Amino acid sequence: MEYKIIPTGCLSGEVDAPGSKSYTIRAILAALLTDGKTTVRAPLQSRDTQAAYNACEAFGGKITRKKDHIIIKGTGGKIKAPKDVLDTLNSGTTIRIATAIAALSDCETTLTGDESIRRRPIKALLDALNQLGTTSSSASGCPPVKIKGPLTGGVCEIPGDISSQYITAILMASPYAKKDVEIKLKTRLKSRPYVDLTLDMLKRHKISVENRGYESFHIACRQKYKPTDYTVEGDYSSAAFILSAAALTKSHVRVNNLFNDSLQADKKIVETLSKMGANAKTYKDHVVIESDGTLNGLTVDLSDSPDLLPIVSVLGAFAEGKTEIVNTGHARLKECDRIHAMAVELKKMGADIVEKQDGLIMKKSKLLGTTVDGWCDHRIIMSLAVAGMHSQGTTKITGAEHVDVTFPNFRELMNGLGAEIK
């Protein structure tokens, strides 16, 4: 599928942010581990969350789907190994958490994903799980993965700067280990707010974790996930594209279902837009942005919010002066190398952009519409769509179907605010 983007003068209106992908996947897989029935309200329905549904059912969970919520009957930690290879599609969160959950079965599970997933590193997670008693392997250090339990417990050491999903995965499986688990981080934890989301989810299920300053975590064994009734909040990661598109034009947009006490890492987009000169305000359950379309460059550390790199690079291409994104080298390990992808595609549009090992430097540029590649990455596609809305001439984006990973109705929602995406 191809997007065709016509330049947009202004955006206005009120929309609901789609449900948080990070929370939805955690909620589904935590419910799988629960002894009883858990209700998850307003879950995101996307390709990534479908991967989590598939994993839940493959491991023995029972899902009842209603109009606006799901009910999951969990296994109480008694995981059955899937008969077939578990395909996690394009979901990195799902394959990492599911790999650790698979260790709760003494039978072998094989997990894989699409071409992008099969390029993403997982060796550090497998090494840590093996320290805890599992038997796991991967020929290339990337999926496919083979793993079997038991998850005995003990102490494991793992880097904190490759993917916070490794820590999330071990945290979620460890309450059912045979002995207490201690996770020691060998390097400083990056993307820390994503671990906070996991700790919040575990707390809702009455799981206790001792967090020792994000340098180590202690999880007592023989804990049980308790059923809960949980409502998924809106996704700041997806809302970032709406808010940024509005900031680049003379716009007034309200995005609902975004909470000012959210733990989400990408809530940082509101702070970033404000520092760049947009009038962005967070209220109890929504964000309002007003802008005259003029932004100023800045230096921004996205070490805890690497998913914002693509859209902030677009903001930097239009902002006055220089914008620099720093401490975001782990963005190279996402669905694609996002640092390189944004440098390549924005250059095609005429941007003055320099690729650094851990980030990007942009100077104000006049962008021209052209044909760009979406790199099979939902965040690259949506970021380039925002760039196209504010460029001169028509922009075409190839591979646009991949937005369904997190934001299936992106085009329809943006067009409802005044954009013209065909």
How many CB atoms are located within 10 Å of the residue 300 CB?
23
CA 130 to each of CA 124, 133, 151, 215, 222: distance values in angstroms, whole numbers, following the listed order: 10, 5, 8, 20, 20
Burial 393-404 (b: 16+ CB within 10 A, else e): ebbbbebbbbbb
DSSP 359: E
Largest CA distance in the chain: 62
Query: How far is the C-alpha of 141 from the C-alpha of 131, rounded, in Å?
Result: 16
End-to-end CA distance of the chain: 10
Active site amino acids: 307
Q: Is 296 helix (H, G, I), strand (E, B) or coil?
A: strand
Pick from 192, 211, 172, 153: nearest CA to 327 = 192
Parallel, antiparallel or unpaired: strands 229-231 and 37-41: parallel
Query: How far is the C-alpha of 376 from the C-alpha of 391, rounded, in Å?
Result: 22
DSSP 108: -
Beta-bridged to residue 100, according to DSSP, are none
The token duo for 362 is 């942009």
Query: How far is the C-alpha of 242 from the C-alpha of 239, rounded, in Å?
Result: 5
Residue pair 251/289 in contact by the 8 Å Cβ criterion: yes
DSSP 361: E
Beta-bridged to residue 18, according to DSSP, are none
CA 304 to each of CA 18, 21, 342: distance values in angstroms, whole numbers, following the listed order: 21, 17, 19
Residue pair 338/310 in contact by the 8 Å Cβ criterion: yes
Q: Is 127 helix (H, G, I), strand (E, B) or coil?
A: helix
